Amino acid sequence: MQDFLQKQFKTFGTPGFAGAEPTGTVTQPEPEPARNDFDFAYKPRDVKTHLDRYVIKQEEAKKVLSVALCDHYNAVRQAFDGEEQGHYTKQNVMLIGPTGVGKTYLIRSIAELIGVPFVKADATKFSETGYVGGDVEDLVRDLVRQADGDVDRARYGIIYIDEIDKIASSSEQ
């Protein structure tokens, strides 16, 4: 799995951080970015404005996700542009809350805004390779499938792993 990911995503390198130029309004990027021509021109306020139109309340989650999304995709853009890599450290995002509060909807809305493929997976259905159940490589295959077979487009995609809490509670029994 690690070899597969390194081959597919070797152009990312170690990302840095840089902000995009302000846009003032939320605009739709092209649905399929050109190969090695990643265009991400959103500011956190643009993303939050988009989320405000679709998600009620959840103010803190919308703010945190907007900043994390922009940090990540601006770092990807900067890496492709060959710009100086700063002190940016990639951050994963964990959304915690009861069923039905809109965690998945927030992420799906973000993926739709920026035009990247989105895959949702149930963590309880996965096992080590060679055992009954899905494995992590299935997630990557699903992401490529969502990108209509375009690996270059899939590399910008979002994999959302749900029900992680169920794994922790089942291992405690």
**Looking at residues 19-35, what average pLDDT do you find?**
47
**Long-range residue pairs from 120-123, CB within 8 A, at least 24 positions apart, any chain:** 120/160, 120/162, 121/159, 121/160, 121/161, 121/162, 122/162, 122/163, 123/161, 123/162, 123/163, 123/164, 123/166, 123/167
The pTM of the full predicted model, rounded to 2 decimals, is 0.69
Q: What fold is seen in the domain 30-115?
A: Rossmann fold (3.40.50)
Distance separating alpha carbons of residues 6 and 12, to the nearest angstrom: 9
For the chain, domain boundaries:
30-115, 117-173
Give the DSSP letter string of 97-155. --TTSSHHHHHHHHHHHHT--EEEEEGGGB--TTSSSB-HHHHHHHHHHHTTT-HHHHT
Q: Mean pLDDT, the chain, as a whole number?
A: 78
| Percent share of the chain, pLDDT over 90 | 39
pLDDT at 11: 43
**Per-residue pLDDT reduced to its tens digit, 116-139:** 999 999 888 876 655 556 777 888
* Crossing angle (nearest 10°) for helices 59-81 and 103-114: 40
